[in-house]
Every structure is written in structure tokens, then in C-alpha cells.
């Protein structure tokens, strides 16, 4: 009786396993990508195009740049690391999780203020974010790259009093790049400090107010590199080459990412590019 039950369960579980798994694809070539959410819409399009062109199956894990780096480290697998900005790529290079010589810059990002469509609170610049009663959010600077950019801008431009007023207006931190956009779209805050491209991710509900050139500290970029966990370095490098090709750049351009330093500088002025920023402890309460 027990044996029959055990046998039936085994047959059932095996059948379920085969139904759930695409066994045909076991022998296919695959790539596993860990991608920061800052480039989700164009990265998805680029991946589809790569699959169509090469027949290689690409599996993508999206998330915060630091979160997907943790996943890659703990899983000890993955072929490509494709974070949302340079900060986590620097960490990955320093700790030996990517091959530094394979790093390439895909596109450039410029921090900006994002407000609700129509700008109902008439926000014209950074100083408006300290007005009493303003509801502001930034991404969590401890783990989300655009949050670190926001803190860097505040630290550089605000006086002690303005910083205090700004902190009073912060309703909370968001846990990802995409959520930073969502809270404006859902009208839960009046403004966020995000990326200029956010407006093109959700043009019906969000618009971008550019910062003044002297307010922006750094221009960000989205890098890509081959993971040291890869077993398919040649194929991974082929994917990196594909991502920086003109064909893929045109996809990013469609979403208004800056495809060169010059384009970004034309929008905001000449700035240092990339690098890392150590967020002061008062912003993370560590």
C-alpha cells in the first residue's frame, strides 16, 4: 500500500517536472544575465533581438544593481553583469566578480527631477524641493544607484538648513529605480530625484525637470562586463559586443538614453563620468 502510494507520487512528480521544464532547450546554448533595473525596457528588447539573431537563449535576472550582484555572487553563476550604473561595477571589479578588461559603456544617464505630468506643484528646480509641504522621495541610497546620485546632489548643493528641510520633505526611500518612477506615476509624491530618461519610460504620467548644469555632480553610465563565473566567455563577449553595437544603441536611443558622452554633455554640460560615491552615514543610519 505504502509502496504503491510512493510509486504513484514519484510518477506524478516526474510528470509534473517534465511538464514544467522545457526539456528541448537543455542542449541549447544559453547565457545568464544579471541586469540592473535602470535599463530594463531597452535591455529586454536587446535580449530578444540577440536571441532572434543568434538562436542563443538568454535568461535575464532583473533587479537593483547591488541585489543582482549579490545573487550572482551567492549563486556563483552568470555570464554577464549589466548594472544600472558604474558604482556597483566598480565594486564587482574590485572584488573580482567581472573581468575588468571586458567592461564596456553602453549608454549614459543624467540625474534629473521627475514630477507628475503637468507639474501640478510648479517645480522648477532643486530649491523647490525644500518648500514646506512638498512630498519628495529618493531611491534608497544604500543599494540603488540613482539614490546615491540624489544624495550626492543634495550634499553638494544644499546648505545645512536646506538639507534639513529637504529631509523633512522626504516621505521615504524607494527600493528600486523602477519604484522611484512608480511613486510619481501613482501620485504618491510630488517629485523624485531620478534619471532624465524616466519621462520616456512613462510619458503619460511623468515629466522630467532638468537640473541646472552646476547642480549635477556626475554623469552616470550603464556598464556591462563578462562575469568571472562564466563558462562561456567567448559567447558572453559576443553578447557584450552586440550590446554596444549601433543596432542596440538605437534601441536605447528610442528610450532617450544618451549614447555618447557628448550627447550627455550637450544636455547638462561637461561633467565627470561614472565613478563611485560613498554615501554619508547620516543618509543610511548605519
Please report, as ranges, the residues that interact with another protein according to CB under 8 A: 2, 64, 66-67, 69-70, 73-74, 88, 91, 137, 140, 142-144, 170-175, 179, 182, 186-188, 284-286
**Which lies closer to another protein via its Cβ, residue 25 or residue 172?**
172
**Which lies closer to another protein via its Cβ, residue 8 or residue 172?**
172
**Which lies closer to another protein via its Cβ, residue 45 or residue 175?**
175
- Least distance (Å) between residue 32 CB and another protein: 18
- Least distance (Å) between residue 268 CB and another protein: 27
Q: What is the sign, positive or negative, of the torsion defined by CA atoms of 108, 151, 192, 208?
A: negative
Q: Distance (Å, rounded) from C-alpha 248 to C-alpha 251?
A: 5
- Least distance (Å) between residue 117 CB and another protein: 13
**Which lies closer to another protein via its Cβ, residue 51 or residue 282?**
282
Residue 166 CA to its chain's centroid (Å): 25
**Which lies closer to another protein via its Cβ, residue 87 or residue 128?**
87
- Least distance (Å) between residue 176 CB and another protein: 8
- Least distance (Å) between residue 264 CB and another protein: 26
**Which lies closer to another protein via its Cβ, residue 118 or residue 272?**
118
Query: Any idea what the Cα angle at residue 243 is, between residues 277 and 105, rounded to 5°?
Result: 30
- Least distance (Å) between residue 116 CB and another protein: 11
- Least distance (Å) between residue 218 CB and another protein: 19
Beta bridge partners of 30: 57
**Which lies closer to another protein via its Cβ, residue 172 or residue 262?**
172
Amino acid at each position: 500500500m505504502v509502496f504503491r502510494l510512493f510509486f504513484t507520487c514519484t510518477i506524478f512528480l516526474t510528470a509534473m517536472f517534465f511538464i514544467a521544464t522545457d526539456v528541448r532547450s537543455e542542449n541549447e546554448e544559453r547565457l545568464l544575465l544579471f541586469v540592473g533595473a535602470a535599463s530594463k525596457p531597452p535591455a529586454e528588447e536587446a535580449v530578444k533581438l540577440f536571441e532572434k539573431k543568434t538562436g542563443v537563449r538568454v535568461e535575464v535576472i532583473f533587479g537593483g544593481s547591488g541585489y543582482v550582484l549579490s545573487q550572482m555572487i551567492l549563486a556563483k553563476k552568470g555570464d554577464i553583469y549589466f548594472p544600472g550604473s558604474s558604482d556597483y561595477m566598480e565594486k564587482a571589479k574590485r572584488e573580482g566578480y567581472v573581468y575588468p578588461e571586458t567592461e564596456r559603456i553602453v549608454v549614459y544617464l543624467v540625474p534629473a527631477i521627475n514630477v507628475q505630468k503637468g507639474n501640478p506643484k510648479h517645480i522648477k528646480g532643486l530649491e523647490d524641493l525644500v518648500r514646506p509641504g512638498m512630498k519628495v522621495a529618493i531611491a534608497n541610497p544604500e543599494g540603488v544607484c540613482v539614490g546615491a546620485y540624489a544624495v550626492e546632489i543634495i550634499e553638494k548643493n544644499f546648505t545645512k538648513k536646506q538639507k534639513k528641510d529637504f529631509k523633512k520633505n522626504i516621505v521615504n526611500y524607494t527600493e528600486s529605480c523602477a519604484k522611484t518612477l512608480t511613486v510619481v506615476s501613482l501620485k504618491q509624491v510630488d517629485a523624485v530625484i531620478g534619471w532624465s530618461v524616466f519621462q520616456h519610460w512613462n510619458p503619460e504620467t511623468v515629466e522630467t525637470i532638468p537640473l541646472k548644469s552646476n547642480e549635477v555632480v556626475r554623469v552616470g553610465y550603464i556598464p556591462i562586463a563578462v562575469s568571472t563565473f562564466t563558462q562561456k566567455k567567448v559567447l558572453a563577449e559576443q553578447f557584450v559586443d552586440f550590446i554596444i553595437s549601433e543596432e542596440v544603441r538605437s534601441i536605447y536611443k528610442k528610450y532617450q538614453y544618451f549614447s555618447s558622452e557628448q550627447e550627455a554633455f550637450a544636455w547638462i554640460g561637461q561633467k565627470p563620468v561614472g565613478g563611485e560615491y560613498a554615501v554619508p552615514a547620516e543618509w543610511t543610519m548605519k
